Amino acid sequence: MPFIETGFKGLLIFEPKVFKDSRGYFFESFNKKTFADAGITGEFVQDNESKSERGVLRGLHYQHNPMAQSKLVRVVEGEVLDVVVDIRKGSPTFGKTFSVLLTAENKKQLFIPRGFAHGFSVLSETCIFQYKCDNFYSKESEGGIRFDDPELGIDWGLGKDEALVSDKDRILPLFKDCVNTFSFV
């Protein structure tokens, strides 16, 4: 099975089988049956891509119900430290963080179910980041948590003054003030 458990219910690392030869490589970045066999049955409806330079820190973002999104994220060029926070009330991992290095070389992907805030920091000179979503983007449904929340204590893998953060992300609320209706099932 190409999925690795993370200790957070529903949060899985997908490690595709990569076939390499003298011409290059081939792998399936998504296969509906493979994902369904792992219990991931939602339908992806939107693909997104961003390009960023070293130091860019995006997040921590989520969308409120009913526009909440599960995501399948990966790096096509470069490398990022991908970070999630469990915001599902009643979860044994509520308020805990998980991070994984996603790179163009390791081809790992992270499946992030609804009920997690998500962000990433770019560790390479540039990065192309792609993600599939199972619900459409809705500006009115945006939610988030401050990237530098002292309660979460996230190490983004960047120097103190290296993080390039949007004004919008700098004013997100702290985790303790995070409002959402996610609950653990």
**Calpha distance 81→136 (Å, rounded):** 24
> Does the annotation count 118 as an active-site position?
no
Alpha helices (H) along the chain: 32-37, 167-170
**Hey, what amino acid is at 114?**
R
> Does the annotation count 131 as an active-site position?
yes
Find the catalytic residue in 62, 64, 131, 137.
131
Please give the DSSP secondary-structure letter assigned to residue 42: P
Find the catalytic residue in 61, 64, 118, 137.
61
**Calpha distance 98→85 (Å, rounded):** 7
User: If we measure between CA atoms, which residue out of 165, 147, 161, 144 comes closest to residue 53?
Assistant: 165
Residues belonging to the active site: 61, 131
